[in-house]
Amino acid sequence: MTGEERKVIFASSLGTVFEWYDFYIYGTLGAFLAKYFFSNVPPNVGFIFALLAFAAGFAVRPFGALIFGRLGDMIGRKYTFLVTMTLMGVGTFFIGLLPGYASWGLAAPIVLIGLRLIQGLALGGEYGGAATYVAEHAPQNRRGYYTSWIQTTATLGLFLALLLILGIRTAMGEEAFGDWGWRIPFLLSGVLLAVSIWIRLSLNESPVFQRMKEEGKTSKRPLTEAFGEWSNAKIAILALFGATAGEAVVWYGGQFYALFFLTQTLKVPAVPAQIMIVVALALGTPFFIIFGILSDKIGRKPIILAGFLLAMVTYFPIFKGITHFANPKLEAALAASPVTVIADPSECSFQFKATGTEKFTTGCDIAKAALVNLSVNYQNQDAPKGTAATVKIGEQTLTSTSPDFAKALPAAIKAHGYPASADPNDINYVMTTVLLWILVIYVTLVYAPIAAWLVELFPSRIRYSGMSLPYHIGNGWFGGFLPATVFAIVAATGNIYSGLWYPVAIAAMSLVIGFLFLPETKDVDIKQI
H/E element, 341: strand 339-343
Q: What is the mean pLDDT of residues 316-341?
A: 91
pLDDT tens-place string over residues 210-257: 888 888 888 889 999 989 999 999 999 999 999 999 999 999 898 888
Please give the Cα distance from 443 to 437 (Å, whole number).
10
pLDDT at 162 over 80: no
Question: Domain residues of the chain, as ranges?
Answer: 1-218, 242-327+422-517, 338-415
Phi, psi of 399 (to 5 degrees): -95, 125
pLDDT tens-place string over residues 110-154: 999 899 889 888 888 888 888 898 999 898 899 999 999 988 887
Q: Does the fold of domain 338-415 match that of domain 242-327+422-517?
A: no
pTM score of the predicted model: 0.87
When the pLDDT of each residue in the chain is averaged and rounded to a whole number, the result is 88
DSSP string, 360-408: --SHHHHHHHHHHHTT--EEEEE--TTPPPEEEETTEEEETTSTTHHHH
At 356 the pLDDT is: 60
At 145 the pLDDT is: 95
pLDDT tens-place string over residues 440-493: 999 999 999 999 999 999 998 999 999 999 998 998 888 877 877 888 888 888
For CA atoms 420, 423, 426, 428, the dihedral sign is positive
Span 338-415 CATH architecture? 3-Layer(aba) Sandwich (3.40)
At 448 the pLDDT is: 94
Q: How confident is the model at residue 529 (pLDDT cuts 50, 70, 90)?
A: low
DSSP string, 205-274: PPHHHHHHHHTT-S-SSHHIIIIISHHHHHHHHHHIIIIIHHHHHHHHIIIIIHHHIIIIIS---HHHHH
Lowest mean pLDDT among 69-73, 151-155, 309-313: 151-155
Nearest to 412 by CA among 389, 387, 395, 435: 395
Please give the Cα distance from 264 to 104 (Å, whole number).
36
Q: Which residues contact 210 (CB under 8 A, 6 or more apart)?
A: 204
At 27 the pLDDT is: 72
Phi, psi of 140 (to 5 degrees): -55, -40
Burial of 40 (0-12, 13-18, 19+ CB in 10 A): middle
Instruction: Give, in order, the Cα–Cα distances in Å from 230 to each of 5, 245, 300, 313.
Output: 35, 21, 24, 34
Q: Which residues contact 153 (CB under 8 A, 6 or more apart)?
A: 13, 16, 17, 19, 20
The region, left, alpha or beta by phi > 0 then psi within -120 to 50, assigned to residue 93 is alpha
pLDDT tens-place string over residues 293-303: 999 999 999 99
Please give the Cα distance from 158 to 160 (Å, whole number).
5
| End-to-end CA, the chain | 25
DSSP string, 360-371: --SHHHHHHHHH
Helix, strand counts (H, E) of the chain: 28, 4
Q: Are the C-beta atoms of 440 and 254 separated by less than 8 Å?
A: yes
Phi, psi of 142 (to 5 degrees): -135, 20
At 357 the pLDDT is: 60
Domain 242-327+422-517 class in CATH: mainly alpha
Q: How confident is the model at residue 325 (pLDDT cuts 50, 70, 90)?
A: very high
pLDDT tens-place string over residues 489-514: 888 888 889 999 999 999 999 999 99
Q: Are the C-beta atoms of 463 and 132 separated by less than 8 Å?
A: yes
Burial of 169 (0-12, 13-18, 19+ CB in 10 A): middle
Please give the Cα distance from 387 to 527 (Å, whole number).
68
Nearest to 311 by CA among 434, 440, 122: 440
User: β-pairing, 339-343 with 378-382?
Assistant: parallel
Q: How confident is the model at residue 527 (pLDDT cuts 50, 70, 90)?
A: confident
Please give the Cα distance from 287 to 83 (Å, whole number).
31
Topology of domain 1-218, CATH: Growth Hormone; Chain: A; (1.20.1250)
Q: Which residue has the higher pLDDT, 290 or 365?
A: 290
pLDDT tens-place string over residues 342-397: 998 988 888 877 666 667 788 998 898 888 888 888 888 999 998 889 999 877 88
Q: What is the mean pLDDT of residues 160-178?
A: 86
Please give the Cα distance from 272 to 123 (Å, whole number).
31
DSSP string, 132-175: HHHHHHS-TT-HHHHHHHHHTHHHHHHHHHHHHHHHHHHHH-HH
